[in-house]
Amino acid sequence: MYTLRGILQDAQARGEAVGHFNISDLVLLKAVLGAARELSAPVVVGLSEGEREFVGTSQIGALVKSLREEFDFPIFLNADHTHSLAKGIEAAKAGFDAIVFDLSALPFEENVRQTKQAVEALKAINPSMMVEGEIGDIGTGSEIHDSSPDLSKGLSTPEEAKQFVESTGVDILAPAVGNMHGMLRSMVKGETKKRLDLERIAAIKQASGVFLTLHGGSGTDDDDLRRAIAAGINIVHINTELRVAWRRGLEQGLAKMPDEVVPYKILPPAVEAVKQVVLSRLRLFNEKRRAA
Ligand SMILES: [Zn+2]
């Protein structure tokens, strides 16, 4: 049986990262699973509180479980950016493999105190559930932004990473290392790229000793992503790039068939557009194994 912890350990040993892709409908889920199976690359699908509200928390739990079993494939489910213990418990009971318990907007001490409580409560429900904590500021909203927020003051330090991990018992840490949620318009057009603080990633990895997640991976320079994985990033989140592809694919489907009303005839271009993005990202994250 596949476990997320085992998959992360294997990927880390090979110098690879596991791709995490957000979904909020069947188009996105089909595209992510299709790409992952085509490359035989393990994958995590994530749903934020808003995405879970739209899809249904226990429903997506049942769906991903059935896909994992039917295809005997390592697809895992993450409760992305969960801001309350009640929502976390809901996800744990629905069979989620992991949770991002995100109180990064609170003062550090309060974040530590409540995250520690959440780790204990969630592991009491499912001991193998992996809990991720977040420190620093990486902005909010996997959307298209007009201007870049000033993230320089919210960067994580190796000292606070170590203290946070030791005091809370989280399995995974999401640091702020130059990454941010969402994309600028110039990034959507491909004119600019996000750049990462690679030295900070390496220092945080060494100080914390846990799995690290890079949030807000959309629009990041490919070479920075490679070097971030080499420096200790284990999971890379991609959401906005999928949303952009979803919309473009949907518009294409609608434009191609102006009189069509059958969803499964209109939607394939959207599935295909998202799948191409997932393929491109998984090829990059799993380069080591593919070369071997
Ligand atoms: Zn995120």
pLDDT along the chain (292 residues), means of 10: 95 97 98 98 98 98 97 98 98 98 96 98 98 93 88 92 98 96 94 95 98 97 97 98 98 97 98 98 89 63
- Taking CA atoms, 276 is separated from 36, 99, 236, 247, in Å, by 11, 27, 17, 14
Kindly report the pTM of this predicted structure.
0.97
Model confidence pLDDT, tens digit, residues 114-161: 999 999 999 999 999 999 999 999 988 899 998 888 888 899 999 999
Angle ∠(240,244,247) on CA atoms, nearest 5: 135
Q: Which of 80, 137, 171, 224 is catalytic?
A: 80
Could you list which residues have their CB under 5 Å from ion ligand 1? 215
CA-wise closest residue to 285 among 244, 235, 243: 235
Distance 143 CA to ligand 1 centre (A): 12
Distance 39 CA to ligand 1 centre (A): 24
**Residue 291: what pLDDT?**
65
Distance 216 CA to ligand 1 centre (A): 6
Model confidence pLDDT, tens digit, residues 199-226: 999 999 999 999 999 999 999 999 999 9
Q: Rounded CA gap, 187 and 180, in Å?
A: 12
In the numeric block, the tokens 């170590």 are attached to: 162
The answer to whether residue 80 is catalytic is: yes
Distance 249 CA to ligand 1 centre (A): 24
Pairs from 63-69 (Cβ < 8 Å, separation ≥ 24)? 63/29, 64/95, 65/95, 67/33, 68/2
**Residue 63: what pLDDT?**
98
Distance 181 CA to ligand 1 centre (A): 6
Distance 291 CA to ligand 1 centre (A): 29
- Its sign, for the CA torsion 256, 258, 260, 262, is positive
Distance 167 CA to ligand 1 centre (A): 22
Contact assessment for residue 32 and residue 23, using Cβ atoms and an 8 Å cutoff: yes
Chain-centroid distance of CA 102 in Å reads: 13
**Residue 22: what pLDDT?**
98
Distance 69 CA to ligand 1 centre (A): 27
